[in-house]
Amino acid sequence: MVSEYYILEEGKKLGPFTVQELQDKPLEPDDLVLLPLHNQGTPAYTMPEFNSYFKSEGIYYPTPLNTVTYFHRLGAFIIDVAILGFVLSIIGILFFPLYLTPVYIESLKTNQVRLGVFKLGTILVITLYNSIFESTKFMGSIGKTVFGLAVVDELGYSLTFKQALGRNFAKIINELIFYIGYVSMFWTERHQAMHDQISRCFVVSKNK
């Protein structure tokens, strides 16, 4: 069993370090770790001895194996739609009862201004819901959390609110082009939809 490691930093060999010393450094997922008698560094995220450390720190480096496609995200999406539908209904009943009357709902079919305001309000609520949860320790919406999924940046870290907001605003582009941007999940190496590519984010499974 390997008891000491080195780090390659700007072409310099630093160390030796024990596993604990590397973790206290702290170790980054893309750090190049050098084993004794080896001349070539290995990215830390690929080394099994550091897997539990990265997961305990909430770091899930995106790879072709742990990133997920549309079908894995679908269950999370269904849960989120149900939650948002319920929450929006409660908000409507408590604060905007007028807007839930049959007369008002019928008017949305003919009044484009009202319809536009209704759609804009819905988009803002959905965007804030996802952005807030993605930038917390949950690293994803309630639906994603239930399915053990997380939204991460290029190094596997949780998103900032600004990053999450950018990712979710990018989803609007998908709506404008009839959701074609989601198709790219099937052929991109790490299963990114168009809004993931724009924001440089990934959806990963925490259990892989």
Half-sphere CA count of 111, side-chain side, radius 13 A: 11
pLDDT at residue 60, as a whole number: 97
Lowest mean pLDDT among 97-101, 186-190, 198-202: 97-101
Q: Which residue has the higher pLDDT, 27 or 122?
A: 27
- Give me the pLDDT at residue 148, please: 97
Amino acid at 82: A
| pLDDT tier for residue 203 given thresholds of 50, 70 and 90 | very high
Least confident residue range of 128-132, 164-168, 179-183, 198-202 = 179-183
Q: What is the mean pLDDT of the chain?
A: 89
Specify the pLDDT at position 36.
83
As a whole number of Å, the CA-based R_g of the chain is 22
Q: For 77-117, write each residue's pLDDT tens digit.
A: 999 999 999 988 887 777 666 666 676 667 666 767 666 77
* Structure tokens given for 184: 């790219």
List the alpha helices (DSSP H) in the chain: 19-24, 51-56, 70-95, 102-107, 112-134, 142-146, 161-176, 194-199
pLDDT for position 6: 93
pTM above 0.85, yes or no: yes
Q: Model confidence over 22-79: pLDDT tens digits?
A: 999 889 999 999 988 788 899 999 999 999 999 999 999 999 999 999 889 999 999 9
Q: What is the pLDDT of residue 179?
A: 85
H/E stretch holding 203 reads strand 202-205
Q: Residue 200 pLDDT more than 80?
A: yes
Share above pLDDT 90 across residues of the chain, in percent, rounded to a whole number: 64
**Rounded Cα gap, residues 30 and 189, in angstroms:** 18
Domains of the chain: which residue ranges?
5-56, 70-205
62 contacts 185 by C-beta, under 8 angstroms: no
Other C-beta atoms lying within 10 Å of the C-beta of residue 133: 20
- Specify the pLDDT at position 64: 95
Residue 73's pLDDT is 95
What local confidence, expressed as pLDDT, does residue 1 receive? 60
Residue of higher predicted confidence among 144 and 9: 144
